[in-house]
Structure 1
Amino acid sequence: MPGSTALTASVTPDASPGLTFGRPLRVLAWLSFIAEILIIGTGGAVRLTGSGLGCSEWPLCTPESLVPILEVQGIHGAIEFGNRTMTGVVGLLALAVLMFTLHALSGRRLVVRAVWFALGGIVVAIGVYAAASALGLPAAALMSTALLLAVLIGAVDSLRQNAQRQDLAVLAWIVLIGVMAQAVVGGFAVISDLNPFIVGFHYTVSLLLVCITALFLVRLDSAPGPRELVVPAWFSALSHATGLALAATIVFGVLTTGSGPHSGDADINIQRTGFDATWFAHVHSWPGYILAALVLVLAVSAWMLKLPPHRWTLVLVLAILVQVVVGVIQARTGLPPVFVGIHMILASLSAAAYTVLVTRLKRPVAA
């Protein structure tokens, strides 16, 4: 990813006067990006090892315990709880990135304000939990919703108070809000006995968070303000058409997986989408091959014309070609879990590479 060389520098000046983004923020941003990829891997492991209901409750693992009881739940409980623990890691990294970003933009002012909103949200959430428990309502879900609303309100207040680098502040808030929302969606996945549409949505949001954390890394080294195209209009249009093909490939891939043999639980046969998995596998491949062709055209054009995104077109070509190979292998070998998991992670990396490529289509307008 661009900006990796910045990890060796203690402080790198930003294009905005008076702003600097130091090494701690950059390291945390990279760790957040990596963690968002890893949680796709751990989430895939939950699904592909049949551990989706290894923890039968949420947010507790069992009705009596926060953590799995290995003698009762075995390895499946440990795998599911491991993924839940990874959610905490991702959330803490997102929070750290946000705090360091706010500090870089305003010093202590926005950080202190955000902390007060957080404390207020926690107090309200505790009150909601107590009231819901007394009324026999789903206390954990309502408490989580209250916390999420508090964060949303805090984000709106913070963005209204800040006039500098709104792009970075918005991205940092989106990641934190997304991680919290993902925890709620994961809870609904358990409560709904792994409804394949909820599980698929859960994965798709994780993939989008990978893209957003990648975009944050890029924007750290980018000047703010208006931008202008540095590529021909037809190349920009072709790039966006490629994005549509990538999105279609991912969506049909999620539906294909949701129709496949890996139900997500080892002991009961979870009802999948009801679609024909074999038919969907073919449908999934059509936009995939179109995507591969479009990416090759982009790469050849960019290198022949020496356009700024040419290096990232090569990265995207490699990612998509490996994806195609893995997809063909898994389809012809009965969908072995390892290859399905690799396919899931590669999809997020392909989407991240495409995100960076799109940012290279424009440059800041010269003053």
Structure 2
Amino acid sequence: MMRFDRFPVSTAVVRRLALASIVANVAIVGTGGAVRLTASGLGCPTWPRCTDESYTTTAEMGIHGVIEFGNRLLTFAVGLIALAALVAALLHPRRRRLLPLAVAVFLGIPAQAVIGGITVLTDLNPWVVGLHFLASTAVLVPAYALWRRSGEPDGPALPTVPAPLRTLTWLTVVVSAVVLVIGTWVTGSGPHAGDHGAARNGLDPETIAQVHADGVFLLIGLSVALWYAFRAVGATGAARAALLLLAVELGQGLIGFVQYFTHLPAILVGAHMVGSCLVWLATLAVLWATRERQPTAVPAPAAAGQSVAVG
């Protein structure tokens, strides 16, 4: 049986690969948005092949085929980064604390690819397209946790804020997730279907956009409350994270309002999709800031003349 501890990998390597995985998963959201916003969603009309006869795009399929096939190729790059992070976690001297997170990131990539295939096979069903986006945000959770966890000591995690504020933080996380979900409903009711013949979800665009905006206002209100509350209890790290979340939310909200009143130009819709990932990551950062791991206690050396009992 192979002993992985013969080939140790430093924590810094795991941390860099985890960060690369975060960046890659946000990037694939951006390229996936480009596929939809250029009406290239069926540039490769089948899956896993690009056509019935070929795994790659052909000249007859034009620019739409190139865009869709390019996004599929990026999935392999994201998967290779996740695989590298998994191998690095496996070779890390204390891999048990990192390995489950690395496995979750790695398994999330093929799951996301399968959902992407289903979107093609269902002719870009808007509910499946939304699920495809949400799968990317779900992979960001273990990827972010792997990045943060790899830079922490091995001691127990202790809260840095009182229990009521941890509850408020979790409520903010839930609302942030709900806002992401409703955002996919807004997209599914709008004009950017990914293909000129793709169906829409049937929801009234103005009504569901207002519901989404209401959720955003609630999320901003919770973020302001967290910022003030963290400052009041002297949790400076958590307060900084909440302020960053608020700043990202305001930037994302500005993009959202501008795109709505300018009739959804593709470039702003794409920026809004990437911004959604940034809001989610900033939300996870606030959650992470409410606890802190302590270094593992080192046993005190035995005093001179004392023996250490064994057994």
Residue 76 of structure 1 corresponds to 64
Which amino acid in the other structure matches residue 100 of structure 2? V
- More moved, 353-362 vs 176-185: 353-362
**Aligned equivalent of 1:42, options 19, 23, 31:** 31
Counterparts of 1:239-254 in structure 2, within 5 Å, are 239-254=169-184
Report the residue type matching 2:239 in the other structure. Answer: H
Question: 2:291 matched to which residue of 1?
Answer: 362
CA offsets 1:158-206 (integer angstroms, 9 cap, x no match)? xxxxxx5534111100111100111111111111101111111110010
User: 1:102, 1:169 within 8 Å by CA — same for their partners in 2?
Assistant: yes
Aligned residue for 1:197?
127
Structure-2 residue corresponding to 1:208:
138
After superposition, residues 214-363 of structure 1 pair within 5 angstroms as 214-265=144-195, 268-307=196-235, 308-363=237-292
Q: CA deviation at 1:225?
A: 4.8
- Give me the whole-angstrom Cα distance separating, in 2, the residues matched to 1:318 and 1:208: 22
CA contact (8 A) 2:153 2:294 kept: no
Any gaps of 5 or more consecutive residues in structure 2? 1-7, 298-311
CA displacement 1:241-294 (0-9 Å, x = unmatched): 1112111111111111111111111xx421111111111100111111000111
Q: Is residue 44–residue 69 contact of structure 2 (8 Å, CA) maintained in 1?
A: yes
Q: Deviations 1:145-164 (Å, cap 9, x if unpaired)?
A: xxxxxxxxxxxxxxxxxxx5
Q: Aligned partners of 2:126 and 2:154: how far apart in 1?
A: 41
Bigger CA drift: 79-88 or 202-211?
202-211
Residue pair 2:40, 2:65 contacting (<8 A) in 1 also: yes
What is the TM-score when the length of structure 2 is the normalising length? 0.88
CA contact (8 A) 1:94 1:175 kept: yes
Q: Aligned partners of 2:219, 2:112: CA distance in 1, in Å?
A: 28
1:309 aligned counterpart, secondary structure = helix
Corresponding position: 1:67 with 2:56: yes
Do the aligned partners of residues 22 and 244 (structure 1) sit closer, same or farther apart at CA in structure 2, a change above 3 Å counting?
A: closer
| Aligned pair partner of 1:85 in 68, 73, 76 | 73
SS in 2 for 1:61: coil
Q: Which amino acid in the other structure matches residue 103 of structure 1?
A: L
Cα RMSD after superposing both structures:
1.7
Deviation at 1:304, TM superposition (A): 4.0
The answer on whether the counterparts of 2:9 and 2:91 sit within 8 Å (CA) in structure 1 is: no
Per-residue Cα deviation, 1:67-121 (whole angstroms, up to 9, x for no partner): 2113x1111111101110110000000001001110114xxxxxxxxxxxxxxxx
* 1:279-312 deviations in Å (ceiling 9; x for gaps): 1100111111000111112112223433031221
Counterpart CA distance in 2 for 1:272 and 1:168 is: 41
Output the CA distance in 1 between the equivalents of 2:17 and 2:204. Answer: 43
Distance 2:165 2:47 in 1: 48
- Alignment partner for residue 103 of structure 1, among 73, 78, 91? 91
Report the CA distance shift for 1:211/1:349 in structure 2 as closer, same or farther (over 3 A).
farther
Q: How many angstroms apart in 1 are the aligned matches of 2:280 and 2:234?
A: 23
Q: Report % sequence identity.
A: 39
Whether 1:168 and 2:98 are equivalent positions in the alignment is: yes
Larger helix proportion, structure 1 or 2? Answer: 1
Separation in 1, partners of 2:58, 2:211: 42
5+ residue gaps, structure 1: 1-18, 106-163
Q: Is the 8 A contact 2:154 2:294 kept in 1?
A: no
Residue 19 (structure 2) pairs with residue 30 (structure 1): yes
Matched length: 288
Asked whether the 8 Å contact 1:215–1:356 carries over to 2, the reply is no
The whole-number CA distance in structure 1 between the counterparts of 2:225 and 2:127 is: 34
Alpha-carbon distance between aligned partners in 2 of 1:166 and 1:310, rounded to the nearest angstrom: 31
